[in-house]
Every structure is written in structure tokens, then in C-alpha cells.
Structure 1
Amino acid sequence: MSDELPVVLCPDSFKGSLDAAAVANAMARGVHAACPKAQVRALPMADGGEGTADLITHTLGWEWHLSSVHGPSGDHVTAGWGFDARNRRAVIDVASACGLDLLPADRRDPWQLDSRGVGELMGIAIEAGAEQLLIGLGGSGTVDGGAGMLAALGARFLDADGRDLPPTPAGLTSLARVDASGLDPRLENIEIVVLSDVDNPLTGPHGASAVFGPQKGLAETDIAAMDAHLGRLAEAIDSAGGLHCPAHTPGAGAAGGLGFALGCVLGGKARMGAAYLADLIELDAAIASSQLVITGEGQIDGQTSRGKVVAEVVGRARRLDVPVVAVAGNIACSEAELTDFGLADARALCDGSITLEQALAEPARWITARTQALVEDHLAQHD
């Protein structure tokens, strides 16, 4: 095999540790340690979660903007978003405006939080000239059904006396009707692409409240009440002028119901985040010109095959007959399962040689080491 091994690096982030770009940088050091003349191309990936906007912006050379918007509790936060002025496209992470990480643990009460900052970011991007909005749904801290976002875009939520209500779930307990006539008319000409990796409906046992509510601070005893609230909200919006699709549409429950507001109310088109991003960065072409693909994520397990970055990368590389290896923080699969999945090899940071604490203290060091070992073994097998 040539010393100038062409390698593509396309990892996801290691959540709570390193973003995807930092993971790719650590992998690149490992590749060059094993093969100094390797031709390395880094194309870090995401699935629509936190960091998607930053990743798309910097991978494709878009402009990066910072805007002040309302955070989930009403305080102002500075949110970043990307803009492709040439093609009039913008990319937004909902987490930047209503993310769980914006809230200290003692303020994570979904009844008191809303997503208005997301709507404000959308308006700012539209004002800048965007005609297409890419919106990553991961990492939200709200369960408001997108009411805050819709309010920021001009919808009104009214009680029986016609008085405006705050768009938090607690504020909408006396909701009587929704007035959607004031929605920003520019939305009619905006293409909204919703990037996600979940297919949950808005309500029910697999809905936003039951599945994601507890992660965001919703008490187990409040799940049924929040679920009922989201159902009433959907009915009120439907009565105000109809929905593009019903609330049980797969993906409507994403991001605490922002999937419902963006898709069912505003007509956005849902896309699996990893697949959409792979197309956007032309991953297939990069893989086709490589001899080895290296991917990775925090944990490879039974959920990896369900729309995650590693599964997307493996599927594309298999079609192009290029071997794929992976580095993960932890691997909860057998070697046989990894082979069936399509990985030629995989290494975990926590493989028994170091502790979890050591891996978390120096993740880049261990990603580099595991990548070096993978590449050395790959070269040995193909000499």
C-alpha cells in the first residue's frame, strides 16, 4: 500500500468531551503518526444536534454571525448562526437559543421555558436575506411545542377574553384560541429544512413529554399533564387555520415539539440530519477518492444504526467499497456485531487499559492513540 494513504475523517462529536472538529484533529494526528505521508481530509459530521450550525458554516466557508436573542428562561443570550450569502441559505441550531446547556440545573423547569429565541433567530436570518433555513433540532431545553418560536414570528396565543398569553406551557394553561394571522408573511417564501435524528410524534407514550421531558427537568408526575397541554396546543393551532400535517407525524416531537411547529405548522421538510449533512459536504465524493474512512462517536451501541453519523458514514462507504474503521469513547457491541454493522475495525478509548476519568481528562490524546493503532493495523493487513 502506498505511503501516501488517502484517508477521510468524518467523526461525530464526543458529547460532553470534544466537538466533531476537535475529534477530527485528534484523529489526523493519529493518522500521521502511523503514516506520515498520508493524505488526510477532515470532514467532521453531525446529525442535527448541537454544533451542526458551526460545523456546516466552517466546513463550507459560510459567514458566522452572533445575535442577541431571548434564551429559554427569558434572559438574553448570544446565539451563533451561519449564512451562505451567495445561495441565500442560513443554518441555525435551536440549542443556541433554547438549549438545555443554557440553563443551570435548578432552573430546568419546562413549564416556565419557551423557544422564542429560535423564532427570533429565524427572523434575523430572513432579514439578512436567507431564503432557505436549515434548522438543527438537537439539544433543546424546552417542551413548549414551539409556541415560543411561533410567538416570536407573529402568532398570538389568547385566553377566552382575547388577552395575550405568554407562550410558556404554564402561561398557556388558559389558552382559548390561537391567532396565526400575524405570522411573518415572508415565511410563505422561505424553505425550511428541519434536521433531526428522531421520529417521535408530538404526544403519546413516544411523544415529546414522555420521552424527552424528564431529560429536560420535567417531573415524572407531570408527564401526563404536559402531554395533554401539547395536545390542546395542537388542537388550538389546527382550529386557527389548519396544519400542514397532523401532530402524530413522525418527528413532530423532536426538540420538545419544535419539530411540530416547524414541520406541521410552518411546512418545514424533515430530513435525517446525518444524511442531509453528508450530501451537503459531498461526503460520497470524498470517500470515493479515499482508501480508508475513519469515523467515530461517544458510544457505539445498538442505537448507532438509527440515523446516527457512524451508520450514515458506514452505509455510504460500503456502497463505494471503501473500508471504515471507528474510534469511540465506549463500544457496547461484540466484534461480530461490529462486523455485521459494516465496520472493518473499531477501538474504544475505555478499552480496559485506561479509566473513564483518564479518557475524559485527555480525550484528544487517547483518540490520537487509538487512531494510530487502527491505521497501523490497517497498513499491516494490506502490505
Structure 2
Amino acid sequence: MRFIVAPDSFKGSMTSKEAGSIIREAILQEMPDAAVRVFPVADGGEGTVDALLYSGGGEKVEQTATGPLGREVQAYYGIMGDRQTAVIEMAAIAGLALAPENERNPLNTTTAGVGQCILHALERGLRKFIIGLGGSATNDGGLGMLQALGARFTDASGQPVPPVASSLAQVRSVDLAGLHPLLKQAELRIACDVDNPLCGPHGASAMFGPQKGATPAQVEELDRGLANYAQAVEERLKQPGLCDTPGAGAAGGLGFGLLALGARMESGARLIAEAAQIEALLAEADWLFVGEGRTDEQTLHGKGPFYLASLAKRHGVKTVLLSGSLTDRPDDLYSVFDSMHSIANGPMTLEQAIAAAPNLLYHAARNIVRLWK
């Protein structure tokens, strides 16, 4: 039997790499002669760097950068095995985990550190970039990132605005002439799993602001600020409607800032699957195991398990989904997954489930393989 094991992370309990190793161990416990290949999966959020380095080789580069709250943090990015491609995971630089809950206020956050890491990679000679969006604490539309790369944003009096979201409404003039010249040689690919525009009821502020600490009044303030900022940038670029591009609202509008640099928006799950060459291996596999922390209707909108299951179906490979939590309305999911299983084995709190997740995952996978055996 030939297995491909390609889980996403189980947030709060297991990384995708850890989950893959646990499922592999469970399979081999029951089928010692099975061929099992593990490929950690991410969709642009946490774990993107680890997933791509695991599949394509390379190294992590530790880098001091400005965190989401304006304080220095110990961040990192990856250099893939080709020595030409940088993998930047914005969650590792300006992610929600780097903003203590009692300090979360998206009006005061910045993506400056993302720009600093891009600059660091450019100056190391890297010209290809995969930038993962997800898990952000920010809502500045990429203002801080663009300023760190040399762009200049000024208010009505001609003074530079601070690189935080509260400045968005003050932007009156945009000067991109100071952008680092090496950016003209760079290929920027955005790994993203959401299709939200920058502004409006489905935009960055309305959809993701509350989870970053925004009050209803702040959501409205942020949305107005982003609209003002976007208009100024679009007029400077002569690209009206750029803010409506699907994914522009990702990571608090960082997607918009990257699009302003000419970046290309792509499915994070597809990018990582291509880098790992998973489809070629699926053509020779018997079963695919995927997994994630929660499975609901969002899974059908391009998330890693859905994308991989679609590839498997193309090659006649059956897919088993292991999830920390399954929706109570799974009918649409049956069109993609051949079998779906919640790893929980009884009533428990979320905290208990997270603590027990590795053991629960192991026994859920082992029981499925025992049934086949």
C-alpha cells in the first residue's frame, strides 16, 4: 500500500509536520511494509516556511525586524534549496501570536517588518519571493511594508505619516520613486487562501478586524482609512479598482500593498503542492491522508485539504480527512473527501481537545488503517 500523508496544521496543538509524522507512525504500526510519504501542507499562513523548506530543502534565516506593535521581534524567513527563492511568512513577522491579547488594537499595528525582511532578502541576492499571507495582527493595507521598502506617504501638510493603520485616513500623497531599485528585478508571488477585497462589508476590516481586537467603531474607521489610502495608491499607479482584486484584503490589506508592487496572487495550497511535486506522487499512490484543525464550508474555498483531495480525485486516489472538528452539515464535503473523521473520541472542552490532539490523531488514523487491514 502506498500512502501520501499531507496534513495542514492543527492550530494550537500540532504543526503540519508534527501531524504528518503522527499519522505516518500510526499507519506503519498497523502496516509495517507500507510506503508512506509525508508532505506538510500550509496555505500561506503559519507553517508556510516550514512546509516549503521540508519539501524543497533550504534554510531558515533569523532576522530581527519590527513586529506588529512596532517593537523589535526575532523573525525569520526561508531560503529554498534553489538558493534563489525567499519564502516569507508574514505570520512570523507581524502575526497575531506576536501581539499579546491585552495589547491588540489594529489601529496601532504595522507591516513594516515584512518590508524589512523583503529588503534583507533582496540584498542577499534573492530575486524570487513566495510571500504567505495569513494569521496577521495588522490592518494597515501594507502601508508599513511599502514605507520600509522606500515608498513615501505624506499627509495634507506634506509630512510623512507614521507606518501604522491609524495613519491611513491621513494619506494625501504617494511617492513610489524611492522604492528599492532591486524590486524591479523581483518576482513576487502571494500565497493566499482568501479572496476578500480590501474594503467594504467583505473587506479586510469588516471580516478580520474583530479577531485582531477591533471594536465596531474601529472597524468603520479602518475601512474608511483603507479606502482613502487605496484611492491615493491607485491614482499614483493609474490602476483603478486594484483594491477590488480578490485577495487584496488578505492579511489586513497586505495583499493590496503587494499587488501595488506588481505581485501575483496565487492559491497558497497550490503553490506548496507544486513545490513539493505532490501531484506526480499521487499518480502512483493508493491513499491520501489530509487533515486540519477544523473542517467546515470554508474548507471548500481552496484550503489545503480541499485542493489536495481534488488532485487525488483526478488520479483516482481515495482521500481520508482527519479533523479536529467536523461541521454538522458535511454533505457538500462528501463530493471531495471519500471519508471524513473527527479525531475527538468523546465530550471534551476545546482546551482538553487541543492538549490531547496528538494522541487523538494517532488513534484515529490507526483505527482507520486497522479497518482496511
TM-score range normalised by the length of the shorter chain: over 0.9
Question: Would you say 1:292 and 2:287 are equivalent positions?
Answer: yes
The correspondence of residues 138-287 of structure 1 with structure 2, limited to 5 A, is 138-243=134-239, 246-263=242-259, 265-287=260-282
- The 8 Å contact of residues 112 and 169 in structure 1, kept in 2 or not, is answered as yes
What is the CA-CA distance between 1:175 and the residue it aligns to?
Answer: 2.4
The correspondence of residues 119-134 of structure 1 with structure 2, limited to 5 A, is 119-134=115-130
- The 8 Å contact of residues 157 and 167 in structure 1, kept in 2 or not, is answered as no
Taking the aligned partners of 2:148 and 2:137, their CA distance within structure 1 comes to 17
Taking the aligned partners of 2:364 and 2:352, their CA distance within structure 1 comes to 14
Partner of 1:11: 7
1:368 to 352, 359, 362: 362
Taking the aligned partners of 1:209 and 1:335, their CA distance within structure 2 comes to 29
Taking the aligned partners of 1:48 and 1:180, their CA distance within structure 2 comes to 27
Give the partner amino acid of 2:132.
Answer: G
Give the direction of change, closer, same or farther, for the CA distance of 1:152–1:243 in structure 2 (3 Å limit).
Answer: farther
Taking the aligned partners of 1:76 and 1:337, their CA distance within structure 2 comes to 45
Give the partner amino acid of 1:18.
Answer: M
- The 8 Å contact of residues 346 and 374 in structure 1, kept in 2 or not, is answered as no
Partner of 1:137: 133
Q: Deviations over 1:76-99 (max 9, x none)?
A: 111111113635111000111111
* Contiguous gaps of at least 5 residues in structure 1: none
What is the CA-CA distance between 1:326 and the residue it aligns to?
Answer: 1.5
The two structures, once aligned, show a CA RMSD in angstroms of 1.7
Give the partner amino acid of 1:8.
Answer: I
Taking the aligned partners of 1:48 and 1:91, their CA distance within structure 2 comes to 10
What is the CA-CA distance between 1:58 and the residue it aligns to?
Answer: 2.6
Partner of 1:344: 338
Aligned length: 373
Give the partner amino acid of 1:362.
Answer: A
What is the CA-CA distance between 1:309 and the residue it aligns to?
Answer: 1.1
Percent identical residues:
38
Q: Deviations over 1:332-359 (max 9, x none)?
A: 1457554x32322222122437664443
Partner of 1:76: 72
Taking the aligned partners of 2:65 and 2:253, their CA distance within structure 1 comes to 20
Q: Deviations over 1:154-213 (max 9, x none)?
A: 011112232222121223443221211101111111110001110000001100111011
Taking the aligned partners of 2:275 and 2:358, their CA distance within structure 1 comes to 27
What is the CA-CA distance between 1:256 and the residue it aligns to?
Answer: 0.4
Give the direction of change, closer, same or farther, for the CA distance of 1:356–1:238 in structure 2 (3 Å limit).
Answer: closer
Taking the aligned partners of 2:110 and 2:83, their CA distance within structure 1 comes to 31
Q: So what's the TM-score if we normalise by structure 2?
A: 0.96
- The 8 Å contact of residues 349 and 359 in structure 1, kept in 2 or not, is answered as no
What is the CA-CA distance between 1:239 and the residue it aligns to?
Answer: 3.0
Taking the aligned partners of 1:356 and 1:316, their CA distance within structure 2 comes to 32
- The 8 Å contact of residues 95 and 139 in structure 1, kept in 2 or not, is answered as yes
Give the direction of change, closer, same or farther, for the CA distance of 1:370–1:363 in structure 2 (3 Å limit).
Answer: same
Partner of 1:321: 316
SS in 2 for 1:222: helix
Give the direction of change, closer, same or farther, for the CA distance of 1:164–1:38 in structure 2 (3 Å limit).
Answer: same
Taking the aligned partners of 1:175 and 1:355, their CA distance within structure 2 comes to 46
* Contiguous gaps of at least 5 residues in structure 2: none
> Mean alpha-carbon deviation: is it higher for 351-360 or for 29-38?
351-360
